[in-house]
Amino acid sequence: MTSYSALAGKIPVILVCFWSTNSDPSINELNAINKQYDRWKQLASFKLMAVCIDQGTLLNRMRPTANMNEWRGFDVCADINGDLQQALHFTNLPQSVILKNGQIVYQQSGFADGTEDYLFSKIQALVTNKR
C-alpha cells in the first residue's frame, strides 16, 4: 500500500477517487474506471489512488469491497483520520481530484455513466500538455 504523501512528489499526475463502502455512486465510479484502467495506463502516464473515507467499523469493509470488485490494478487505501478529506474540504461522494505535481488541477463531485471518460480526458490533456 502506498501513501498519498509518498506519491504526491514522485508521480506527476495522480487521480484520487474518494469513496465509501456505503456509497453506491462511488463504488460505481471506481468500477467504471477499473474496467478501462489498463487501457488508460497504456495511453497516459498517471497513478490512480482509491481513498476510502470510512471510519470505525465501516473501515473493516474496505478491503473486502475492493477484493469483491477486483480493484487490483490501483492502490486502495484509507484516509483513517479524515485528514486528506478535511484538507480538500469536501463532503459529497464520490469526489475525484486530479493532481499535477502535487497541485489540484481538477476536482469533481458525483458520478454518472460516462463521467469516468471525462476524467480521463482531463488526465490525457495534462499528460500531453506537460504544463
- Report the pLDDT averaged over residues 12-30: 95
Residue 8 within any structural domain of the chain: no
Residue 4 within any structural domain of the chain: no
- Quick one: cell of 91? 463532503
Residue 47 within any structural domain of the chain: yes
Instruction: Choose between 12 and 131: higher pLDDT.
Output: 12
Instruction: Give the burial class of 124: count Cβ atoms within 10 A of its Cβ; 0-12 exposed, 13-18 middle, 19 or more buried.
Output: middle
Long-range contact pairs involving 85-91 (C-beta distance under 8 Å, separation at least 24)? 85/18, 85/53, 90/18
Residue 38 within any structural domain of the chain: yes
Number of structural domains in the chain: 1
Mean pLDDT of the chain: 89
Residue 30 within any structural domain of the chain: yes
- Residue 28, pLDDT above cutoff 90: yes
Residue 10 within any structural domain of the chain: no
Q: What is the per-residue pLDDT for 130? A: 52
Q: What is the per-residue pLDDT for 128? A: 76
Q: What is the per-residue pLDDT for 3? A: 53
Q: What is the per-residue pLDDT for 1? A: 47
Predicted structure pTM score: 0.88
Range of the domain at 86: 25-90+102-125
CA 69, distance to chain mean position in Å, is 15
Domain containing 36 — which CATH number? 3.40.30.10
- Report the pLDDT averaged over residues 37-43: 94
